[in-house]
């Protein structure tokens, strides 16, 4: 788009539009609160808090259709840095971050930091190492970038097949988390809700692809942040008189530490490579909150933060995001926003966990089994908490708590009106829907552009490329629905596996493709396949018990293996051609026309003039 | 548009900036959590220091790293004439 100014591309009224959305959301919540006080039925309030926000996201998605490829696959390259950062941060966390990570903080305290730090560091790595260069290239998918960068059509299919693995795992994980939140919100079965959320997300993004996903995603991200902030802030005021849960939980933490030692919570030391995160469902409190390396060994802690960082940085569903910013500088800025927003969320989640943990320790542990507080009895009845009554007083070993329910149980334990509990659930649902939509669009575009159309995509007219992407979207949606119903594993583990696969298969090759001149197409192909193979092999061995390391750390072996294989294979095969090196030199400089757009423009010019 | 003769200098400058952004951050990311237990005896805002540095500290370092990188890299682009002509 040479000659078009950045200011002309970006819609100046975006802030107004999303301000209206935030106001509508606030009005909805206040309305639900009033209805509840007026005695409306519980199911009506549930319906309002589920259908209201989803109708808003759906309306935004359906009202931003796209007919041109640039709109459908890259949102017209007109998303300003803040909105890109917002969507990036919340979809990097997703349902796994909001629901799962809070529960992990609740159960293992300090040791959960390895994941939160990893996710934040991943955004930094991606912003510094990859995003600006991928934006300069401007391809719609990672395989399309790699195949052009190395002038190797075969690499496109290999890369697409490789990247499908982390994408499918992410799809299954996020669909499960979304279904979990929706099931609590509607009191329906999780399987039914899995199908319902996949249908909802498909409808939201079908009309406009990346364009629908970006704008409805910004709305979802705002809803997720609001829904996280409101209960946490109110509880923070109740507990510390200050409305900043992120930094004022110090006093709460001191009380918590004292209560923990008074109640005799054990100090445990984990072996170096131990990685004992709570699984799905009801889990006991493992250790004292503040103690380091009680569930996760110190080596595993460092490895997990690096694997998570590389996994987020190489995640194919996030890597399509920089392509939608108006320029290279703007795409760098979007990562600044993303790190800021993700950082604030990642400071709020442990605060939520600390508040709930103190309530549990203070009011439940040590009490007689038959005289527990009302909120805890209600949680027990709902199946979120359980006490195995063997002793007259409740001890640590007897209490277990549903990992994914921690986020919304806080509102419940603090005695808030039901509408606020449903708000917390709707926020977690929004985060999961956002990550699900991102993965769904990412895999559909991968399928239609890189596999179905394969080698001659760019010659095809816009209508057929967009049409193929829509068909692929419906196909992937069916697959996701089936995966969400059929996948038996813990969704949080699926999320970690997805990070491990993208860390070992995608990250090494992508980094070297920008920062190392000697890499050639053989190196890229061998590197991706080796990373994928090694990670899969280690996961299989670890799950079978043949290897004394946790399977989610497979990336710690797969990542170096991927790097080594890329380097060795490149050195053993001929130098990259002059043309390939020229492309690399173009990518490294921010100025000048986006490479992919120039290719399309030249193709159109050739098509118009009779040869 | 950048001159051909400038490209090498530009890329060297960019590489140095990448390393100065990422290496200290990476070092802090790996090393800081190991000292958390020792530092926990001191407190900031009532939060044990080790936990505070590992949680709040690293997230702040990440944001500062990213913000400094964006501005420095933009300055490098302009210095070498490699910036976007918008």
Residues of A in contact with B67 (CB under 8 A): 336
The predicted model gives A542-552 an average pLDDT of 88
pLDDT at A329: 93
Q: Is the minimum CB–CB distance between A507 and chain B shorter than 8 Å?
A: no
- A347 with B63: Cβ contact below 8 A: no
pLDDT at residue A1 greater than cutoff 80: no
Count CB neighbours of A374 within 10 A.
8
The pLDDT of residue A603: 83
pLDDT: is A122 or A292 the higher one? A122
**Burial (Cβ within 10 Å: 0-12, 13-18, ≥19) of residue A491:** buried
Tell if the CB–CB gap between A340 and B63 is shorter than 8 Å: yes
Task: Report chain A residues whose CB lies below 8 A from the CB of B70.
Answer: 329, 332-333, 335-336
Q: What is the per-residue pLDDT across A427-467, written as a single tens digit (0 to 9) for each?
A: 999 999 999 999 999 999 999 988 877 666 566 788 888 99
Is residue A5 pLDDT above 80, yes or no? Answer: no
> Are B70 and A332 a contacting pair at CB < 8 A?
yes
pLDDT for A270 equals 83
pLDDT tens column, A313-336: 999 999 999 999 999 999 999 999
Q: Above 70 in pLDDT, residue A155?
A: yes
Q: Which of residues 18-77 of B touch A (CB under 8 A)?
A: 18, 21-22, 25-26, 29-30, 33-34, 36-37, 40, 43-48, 50-51, 54-56, 58-60, 62-63, 65-67, 69-70, 73-74, 77
Pairwise CB contact (< 8 Å): A129 & B22: yes
Q: Is the pLDDT of residue B34 over 90?
A: no
Strand extents, DSSP E, A251-389: 282-284, 385-387
Say whether A347 and B67 touch across the interface (CB within 8 A): no
* ipTM of the predicted assembly exceeds 0.90: yes
**8 Å CB contact of B37 and A336:** no
Calculate ∠ Cα B77-B79-B80, nearest 5°: 70
- Return the residue of A nearest to B36 by Cα: A292
User: Could you tell me if residue A442 is left (phi over 0), alpha (psi between -120 and 50 degrees) or otherwise beta?
Assistant: alpha
The secondary structure of A105-128 as a DSSP string is HHHHGGGGHHHHHHHHHHHHHIII
pLDDT at A2 over 50: no
Record: contact A249-B47, CB cut-off 8 A: yes
Q: Which two tokens stand for residue A312?
A: 């987020």
Q: Does A114 touch chain B (CB under 8 A)?
A: yes
CB contact under 8 A, A113 and B37: no
Helix, strand, coil percentages (3-state) for chain A, rounded to 5, are 75, 0, 25
What are the tens digits of pLDDT across the range A36-93? 999 999 999 999 999 999 999 999 999 999 999 899 999 989 999 999 999 999 999 9
Please enumerate in sequence order all residues whose Cβ is within 8 A of that of A72, keeping only pairs 6 or more positions apart, or say none. Answer: A66, A208, A209, A210, A211, A465, A466, A469
Residue-wise pLDDT tens digits, B1-27? 677 888 999 999 999 999 999 999 999
For chains A and B, count residue pairs whose Cβ atoms are closer than 8 Å. 142
- pLDDT tens by residue, A343-362: 999 999 999 999 999 999 88
Q: Which residues of A306-331 are buried (b: 16+ CB within 10 A; e: fewer)?
A: bbbbbbbbbbbbbbbbbbbbbbbbbb
Q: Is the Cβ of A329 closer than 8 Å to some Cβ of chain B?
A: yes
> Phi, psi at residue A5, to the nearest 5°?
-85, 150
CA–CA separation, A496 and A173 (whole Å): 9
User: CB burial class (10 A; 0-12, 13-18, 19+) of residue A338?
Assistant: buried
Query: In angstroms, what separates the C-alpha of A290 from chain B's closest C-alpha?
Result: 7
Residue A611's pLDDT band (cuts 50, 70, 90): very low
Q: How far apart are the first and last CA of chain B?
A: 11
SS3 A386: strand
Which residues, including other chains, have CB under 8 Å from residue A219's CB and lie 6 or more apart? Answer: A18, A21, A56, A57, A60
Mean pLDDT value of segment A510-518: 95
From the list B37, B43, B69, the residue facing A128 with the nearest CB is B69
- Considering chain A, what percentage of its residues have pLDDT values greater than 70? 97
């Amino acid at each position: 788009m040479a000659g078009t100014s950045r200011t002309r591309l970006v819609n100046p009224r975006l802030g107004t539009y999303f301000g209206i959305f935030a106001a509508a959301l606030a009005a909805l919540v206040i309305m639900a609160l009033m209805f509840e006080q007026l005695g409306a039925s519980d199911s009506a309030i549930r319906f309002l808090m589920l259908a209201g926000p989803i109708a808003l996201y759906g309306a935004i998605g359906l009202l931003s259709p796209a007919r041109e490829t640039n709109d459908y696959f890259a949102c017209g390259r007109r998303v300003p840095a803040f909105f890109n950062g917002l969507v990036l941060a919340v979809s990097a966390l997703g349902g796994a971050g909001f629901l799962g990570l809070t529960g992990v903080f609740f159960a293992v305290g300090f040791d959960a930091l390895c994941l939160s730090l990893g996710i934040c560091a991943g955004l930094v790595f991606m912003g510094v190492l990859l995003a600006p260069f991928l934006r300069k290239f401007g391809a719609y998918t990672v395989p399309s970038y790699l195949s052009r960068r190395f002038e190797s059509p075969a690499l496109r299919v290999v890369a697409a097949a490789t990247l499908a693995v982390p994408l499918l795992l992410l799809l299954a994980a996020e669909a499960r988390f979304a279904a979990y939140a929706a099931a609590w919100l509607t009191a329906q079965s999780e399987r039914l809700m899995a199908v319902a959320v996949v249908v909802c997300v498909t409808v939201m993004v079908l009309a406009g692809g990346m364009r629908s996903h970006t704008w409805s995603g910004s709305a979802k991200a705002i809803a997720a942040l609001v829904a996280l902030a409101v209960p946490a802030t109110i509880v923070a005021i109740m507990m510390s008189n200050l409305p900043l849960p992120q930094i004022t939980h110090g006093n709460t933490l001191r009380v918590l530490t004292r209560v923990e030692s008074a109640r005799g919570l054990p100090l445990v030391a984990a072996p170096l490579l131990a990685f004992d995160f709570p699984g799905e469902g009801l889990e006991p409190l493992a250790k004292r909150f503040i103690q380091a390396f009680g569930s996760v060994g110190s080596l595993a802690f460092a490895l997990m933060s690096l694997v998570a960082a590389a996994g987020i940085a190489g995640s194919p569903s996030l890597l399509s995001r920089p392509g939608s910013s108006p320029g290279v500088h703007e795409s760098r800025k979007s990562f600044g926003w993303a790190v800021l927003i993700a950082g604030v969320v990642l400071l709020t989640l442990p605060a939520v966990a600390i508040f709930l943990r103190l309530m549990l320790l203070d009011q439940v542990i040590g009490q007689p089994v038959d005289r527990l507080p009302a909120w805890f009895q209600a949680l027990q009845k709902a199946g979120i908490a359980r006490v195995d009554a063997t002793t007259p007083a409740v001890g640590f070993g007897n209490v277990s708590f549903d990992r994914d329910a921690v986020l919304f149980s806080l509102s419940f334990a603090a005695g808030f009106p039901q509408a606020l509990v449903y708000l917390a659930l709707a926020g977690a649902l929004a985060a999961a829907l956002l990550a699900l939509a991102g993965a769904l669009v990412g895999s559909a575009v991968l399928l239609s552009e890189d596999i179905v159309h394969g080698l001659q995509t760019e010659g095809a007219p816009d209508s057929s490329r967009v049409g193929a992407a829509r068909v692929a979207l419906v196909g992937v949606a069916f697959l996701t629905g089936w995966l969400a119903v059929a996948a038996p594993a813990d969704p949080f583990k699926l999320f970690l596996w997805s990070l491990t696969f993208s860390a070992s298969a995608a990250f090494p090759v992508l980094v070297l493709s920008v920062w190392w001149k000697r890499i050639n197409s053989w190196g890229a192909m061998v590197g991706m396949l080796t990373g994928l193979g090694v990670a899969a092999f280690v996961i299989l061995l670890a799950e079978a018990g043949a290897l004394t390391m946790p399977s989610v750390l497979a990336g710690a072996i797969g990542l170096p293996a991927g790097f080594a294989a890329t380097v060795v294979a490149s050195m053993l095969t001929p130098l990259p051609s002059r043309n390939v090196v020229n492309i690399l030199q173009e990518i490294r400089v921010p100025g000048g026309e986006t490479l992919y757009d120039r290719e399309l423009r030249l193709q159109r010019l050739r098509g118009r003039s009779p040869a | 548009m950048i001159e051909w003769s400038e490209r090498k200098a530009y890329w060297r400058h960019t590489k140095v900036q990448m390393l100065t952004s990422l290496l200290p951050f990476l070092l802090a990311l790996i090393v800081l959590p190991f000292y958390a237990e020792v530092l926990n005896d001191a407190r900031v805002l009532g939060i044990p220091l080790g936990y505070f540095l590992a949680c709040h500290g690293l997230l702040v370092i990440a944001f500062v790293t990213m913000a400094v990188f964006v501005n420095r890299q933009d300055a490098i682009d302009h210095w070498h004439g490699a910036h976007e002509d918008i």
